[in-house]
Structure 1
Amino acid sequence: MAKLTGGQIVVRSLIKQGVKIVFGLPGVQNDWLYNAFYDYQDEITVIHTRHEQGVGYMALGYYLASGKTAVYNVVPGPGFLNSSAALLTAYGLNAKVLALVGQTPLKTQGKGWGVLHESKDQLGIMKRLTKYSDKVNDIKEIPHKIQKSFQEMETGRPQPVGLEISMDLLMSSDEMAFPALEKEKQEIEIDTSIVNRIAEALIHAKNPLIFVGSGAMDASEEITALANYMQIPVFAYRTGKGIVSSRNYLSHPVPAAYELWKEADVVVGIGSHVRMPILKWGTDEHLSFISVNIDINDHDKIMTPNIALTANAAQASKAILETLKNKIPQRTSREKEMQVLKASWKEKTAYLEPQATYLRIIREELPDDGIFVDELTQVGFASRMLWEAYAPRTYLSTGYMGTLGWGFPTALGAKIAKPELPVITVCGDGGFMFAVQELATAVQHKIGVIICLFNNNAFGNVQNMQINNYGNKVIASDLTNPDFIAMAESYGAHTEKVSDFDSFRQAIQKAKKQELPTLIEIGVGIDMPSTDQFKSMPKLRGVN
């Protein structure tokens, strides 16, 4: 057995779990971990950023684009808290992200001595942001607790986990053997009687609908096959885009379901709570809700389902389809009807200009598997209604967290996960400045993302509402910005400033050929048309 430091044991354990990239920032509590990263740099790469929020968002983007577990490392206290918005967003997005967090020496913890980076009950904070968190109390625990962390992400509902390791354990040493690590694969045994009930409900339904969310991201093939066989329209909003390709006539954005909700008799949520339609459009005794979810505790979060199936989305969809095939032939095509729905939705959203044209140009310049990263800006809001996603993991969104400033650093992580693909994010000037310093990271590590920066010198959406909804009470929404072009060039990034749609397209075409990041600045006003009207659709049914 080799004698290794705690830091080396951590790194060897990560390598054995298949980790090849860690996003992190060094600091004194993690010195011996980074010594180990240096020792094993031929097997594992550290991508370092200019702020701890950057490492968290980059890890999140890496997972969202690839589906592979991501790891980030920060120092304790302020370092951990700087990353916590990204960790919370990962929690909301069901992301497999391991937060590997440093800690003060064991003998100082809980004493309130005021040692560097001390915080009260850091592990307690971490537990509230993750599915599972733990601390290492002895150097010999390290391999087991890292394995346990990965196991928690791989079983049941995938969500982030945290592991705290103190600096004295990282610098201590011991002989350590690494036993073969067997990953338990906990397949949930599907209840065939429930599958049969779902099949019967779909067979007898007159107007069934399917809604998908992030819990169904790895079930694209199975859900598409089920929808095609039964000719059931499928609706996705922020986190479900691309599960069924937008080219499929059965695929629509969630707000378009409004037209069909009143007559829907069976609604199936696959990896989705179906939150917006149920809460905003109402339910009644004529609507049957079927929940397919890997987490048994999530079935009744919004309403109690008539039928609940606990299973992963791919496994469940395949079982339901196989049962249906044994009972009925494939349903007659509804293409003509669904194309009318698509045309109707396009007509309803035609007023969203110039957002629609910007999004159309980006879509045309991205390959089918190119990656688009949403942001909290008007073009980003419109993308939830208008973006056509042709494959899973190609439209990245914060989901219900709505985390302003996530777009640029998350796009960096996505590009690292998929270096062969173009990655484009749309940012407002307000949100972009949250992580503007990561331009240095993008240049240093040659991460060639394309940033479409829509600049109105304001928190534009906020100011628009202040003017139109609150009697022109404009406060705390005007912004003083730098010269974005000069600033980006000072970092070494490529830049383009455009004033029309043709030059915007040309800038994207040019940016796709660059190894380094490109910032494309587009000057806009704050008065872009809002998508808010779709949030205020009146109820269609009496509340059950």
Structure 2
Amino acid sequence: MAKMTGGQAIVRTLVNHGVDTIFGLPGVQLDNTFDALYEAKNQLRTIHTRHEQGAAYMALGYAQASGKIGACIVGPGPGLLNAGAALCTAYGSNVPVICIAGQIPSNQIGLGLGATHEIIDQSSAMRGVVKWVGRADQPSDTPAVLHEAFSQMLGTRQLPVIFEMAPDIMGKTEDVSLMDVEDYDAAPEPDETALEEAAKLLGDAENPMIFVGSGVFGAEAELQRLAELLEAPVIMSRTGRGALTDRHYLAQNMITGQGLWETADVALVIGTRFSSPGLAWGREGDVKLIRIDIDPAQAKLPREADITAITSAKKAMPVLLEKIEPRNKKRESRKSEMNAAKADTIAKLEGLNPQFGFGKVIRDALPEDGVLVTDVTQMATYMQNWMPVYQPRTLITPGYQATLGYGYPTALGAKVALPEKKVVCIAGDGGFMFNVQELSSAVAHNIDVTCIVFADKAYGNVKRFQKEGYGGRHIAVDLHNPEFAKMAETYGMTGIYADGPDALAAALKETMDTPGPALIEVPIGEVPNTWALIKRPSSAGNKS
């Protein structure tokens, strides 16, 4: 037990849990905690941003790229609401982010007096955004409340949490007993009976398939061994790309998976929502479904499986492998079939230009362990489906939240987490402007990310929808842009205008060879529709 302020208790607990970087903005309701961050600056790096949304996205990118905890600190009320888009993206992508949030003075909470940054019941407002919200009302409460925060964030399905403290409590000094760090993994032990049944079903299957998302990360070697035993294609969601290297003939994307689904008889679904196949691919009564998922609620969606094991992939896969080997039927190699299916999809995607021309340049420039972060733009959709991915956590997306403006600050966080790796962001001109202010943060902290802004002077996806679905009645989609490359130079970074794939290749070579943040502006016109190749449930609830 030692005397410390509430702010010091927060910071020391974070440090004890291995948090080495926190992104955020200071403010009057956080001053006492930022003073504690100053004291701990040799143990915990503070990266200040220009907007709370940028701070939370950087924490998200840090966690997505590294698999470690991402941390941010923001003021209460509007500051926390500003961070909300990033926190709901972390929730949708199953990413462990802890947000330290300020509050109004403790004696004013809930009174509606109009305190600075006060909103009605901040805690309840955020419970619809993150998994858990908790507040420490005394400095001595801090270790226990943060212990619960880490338990909620890491125990089973990894999800974001919010920890609150009032400014006067952050500054109050009292005796505090810090708690020991635990292994918070609370995944249930595998259900041996369920996995026995799964092994029998898979072992007898004629055309099994495996579907994975980011929930399989940590069990990549077991995944490859299982796929090879079953000669089963591994269909990777956008967030699961790289779980099996794309050099492997069994590694397939969702577009190829659509065709293979037509002859499948058993599907093993590991750590993924299974939304598109479950809702849009049909054959519900023809394909037996096995789910391995850490979340019992999610495992029932979008439909009940025939066999369900509630546990983590890391715990389940070794047991399943052990049970399936003696039960697996003799199988002929499907290498020729799988390579042909993959080649067919690639041919369709490579027929889409200019996306293929630009995409090939980006893949050629990015090392195999380099990280591509995609915003919500037509080039991003293309890259998520076409680009070969060789390692997990090297294609980073916003998942189903599809949060416009996600890309650039998330890429900055990824680079902070992985300073030795190359990080490239692709964004459209619409989404990029959501967080354009973080160009300043990139320069201030020398975060070496190259951002490629594909500029079509429109919200391109929406403009295409209006053309194809509403007879070209365009409204609220055309944009007036700055000259992005010149704007980047005014921030003190490299700015290059690159018209066409050859110019982009030259610009990428220059930025990859030269340390420091950079922006490449690429003009682009109307492009073919990648979504036309993808079966998925309508985001607008339309029948078609």
TM normalised by structure 1 equals 0.96
- Is the CA contact 1:351–1:529 (under 8 Å) kept in the aligned structure 2? no
| AA of the residue aligned to 1:249 | Y
Using the TM superposition, give the Cα deviation of residue 3 of structure 1 relative to its aligned residue in structure 2, in angstroms: 2.2
8 A Cα contact 2:405 2:434, kept in partner: yes
Equivalent position amino acid for 1:304 in 2: E
* Stretch of structure 1 that moved more, 64-73 or 137-146: 137-146
Kindly state the Cα deviation for residue 83 of structure 1 after the two structures are TM-superposed.
0.4
How far apart, in 1, do the equivalents of 2:514 and 2:174 lie? 47
> Which residue matches 1:118?
118
Residues of 1 paired with 2:244 and 2:181: CA distance? 36
- Deviation at 1:520? 0.6
Rounded Cα–Cα distance in structure 1 between residues aligned with 2:459 and 2:328: 54
Does structure 1 residue 530 correspond to structure 2 residue 532?
no
TM-score, structure 2 normalization: 0.96
Q: Which whole-Å CA distance do the structure 2 matches of 1:413 and 1:282 have between them? A: 39
| Other-structure match for 2:435 | 435
In structure 2, the residue matched to 1:368 is 368
Match of 2:312 in 1: 312
On the 8 A contact 2:230/2:328 being kept in 1, the answer is: no
Corresponding residue of 1:41 = 41
Could you report, residue by residue, the CA deviation over 1:173-200 in whole angstroms, capped at 9, with x for unpaired residues? 0122334333344352111111111111
Q: CA deviation at 1:315?
A: 1.8
2:254 paired residue number: 254
| d(CA) in 2 for partners of 1:278, 1:297 | 15
Distance in structure 2 (CA, Å) of the matches to 1:328 and 1:207 = 12
Question: Structure 1 stretch 265-274 or stretch 55-64: which is displaced more?
Answer: 265-274
- Choose 495-504 or 120-129, whichever is displaced more: 495-504
- RMSD of aligned alpha carbons: 1.6
Q: Determine if contact 1:237/1:385 at 8 Å carries over to the other structure.
A: no
For 2:542, the equivalent position in structure 1 comes to: none
Residue aligning to 1:341: 341
Instruction: Give 1:383's aligned residue.
Output: 383
Distance in 1 between the 2:367 and 2:252 partners?
20
**More divergent stretch after superposition (187-196 vs 245-254):** 187-196
Q: Which moved more, 1:320-329 or 1:358-367?
A: 320-329
Deviations 1:296-348 (A, max 9, x none): 12111101100001110122122111112233477432111111111111222
1:99 aligned residue? 99
Report the 3-state secondary structure (helix = DSSP H, G, I; strand = E; otherwise coil) of the residue aligned with 2:435. Answer: coil
CA distance in structure 2 between the aligned counterparts of 1:328 and 1:431, rounded to whole angstroms: 49
Matched, 1:188 2:188: yes
Structure 2: gaps of 5 or more residues: 538-544
Distance 2:371 2:445 in 1: 19
User: Is residue 293–residue 311 contact of structure 1 (8 Å, CA) maintained in 2?
Assistant: yes
Secondary structure, aligned partner of 1:359: helix
Aligned-pair distance for 1:499? 1.5
Displacement of 1:429 in angstroms is 0.6
Residue aligned with 1:316, SS = helix
CA distance in structure 2 between the aligned counterparts of 1:513 and 1:35, rounded to whole angstroms:
38
Match of 1:541 in 2: none
**Quick one: structure 1 residues 502 and 198, their matched pair in 2 at CA, closer, same or farther if it must change by over 3 Å?**
same
Q: 1:153 corresponds to which residue?
A: 153
Deviations 1:29-88 (A, max 9, x none): 000000111111111110110000000100000000000011100000000000000000
1-side partners of 2:413 and 2:111: how far apart? 37
> Distance between the aligned counterparts of 1:178 and 1:132, measured in 2?
21
- Note if contact 1:77-1:122 (Cα within 8 Å) is conserved in structure 2: yes
Three-state SS of the structure 1 residue aligned to 2:297 is helix
Partner of 1:460: 460
Please name the residue that 2:64 is paired with.
64
- In 1, the alpha carbon distance for the partners of 2:299 and 2:187 equals 19
1:225 equivalenced with 2:225 (yes/no): yes
Deviates more, 1:463-472 or 1:335-344: 463-472
Q: CA deviation at 1:471?
A: 1.4
- Kept in 2, the 8 Å contact 1:223–1:314? The answer is no
Unaligned runs of 5+ in 1: 539-544
Alpha-carbon distance in 1 for matches of 2:86, 2:536 = 31
Task: Label 1:169 to 1:388 Cα distance change in 2 as closer, same or farther (>3 A).
Answer: same
Report the identity percentage.
39
Question: Are the counterparts in 1 of residues 140 and 177 from structure 2 also a CA contact under 8 Å?
Answer: no
Looking at structure 1, the residues matched to 345 and 483 of structure 2 have their Cα atoms a distance apart, in angstroms, of: 39
Structure 1 residues 144 and 183: alpha-carbon distance in aligned structure 2, compared to 1, 3 A threshold:
farther
SS at match of 1:255: helix
- Range 467-476 or range 32-41, more displaced: 467-476
- Could you tell me whether the CA contact under 8 Å between 1:196 and 1:323 is conserved in 2? yes
Q: Aligned partners of 1:22 and 1:184: how far apart in 2?
A: 21
How far has the Cα of 1:262 moved from its partner?
Answer: 2.0
1:478 CA displacement: 0.9
Judge conservation of contact 2:281–2:535 (CA < 8 Å) in 1.
no
3-state SS of paired residue (1:73): strand
Report deviation, 1:151.
Answer: 1.8
Q: Counterparts in 2 of 1:398-437, with a 5 A limit?
A: 398-437=398-437
Aligned residues between the structures: 538
Stretch deviating more after TM superposition (457-466 or 75-84)? 457-466
Q: Kindly tell me: are residues 13 and 284 of structure 1, through their superposed partners in 2, closer, same or farther at Cα, counting changes over 3 Å?
A: closer
1:437-462 CA-to-partner distances (Å, cap 9, x unmatched) read 10000000000101111111111221
Give the distance between the partners of 1:12 and 1:286, measured in 2 at CA.
55
Name the structure 1 match of 2:74.
Answer: 74
The one-letter code of the counterpart of 1:496 is I
Which residue is equivalent to 2:541? none
Letter in 1 for 2:530: T
Partner of residue 448, structure 1: 448
C-alpha contact (below 8 Å) 1:237/1:384 kept by paired residues: no
- Cross-structure match for 1:396: 396
- The 2-side partners of 1:486 and 1:363 are apart by 26
Of 48-57 and 314-323, more deviation after overlay is shown by: 314-323
| CA–CA separation in structure 2 for the residues paired with 1:102 and 1:355 | 44
Instruction: Check the 8 A contact 1:211/1:236 in 2, yes or no.
Output: yes
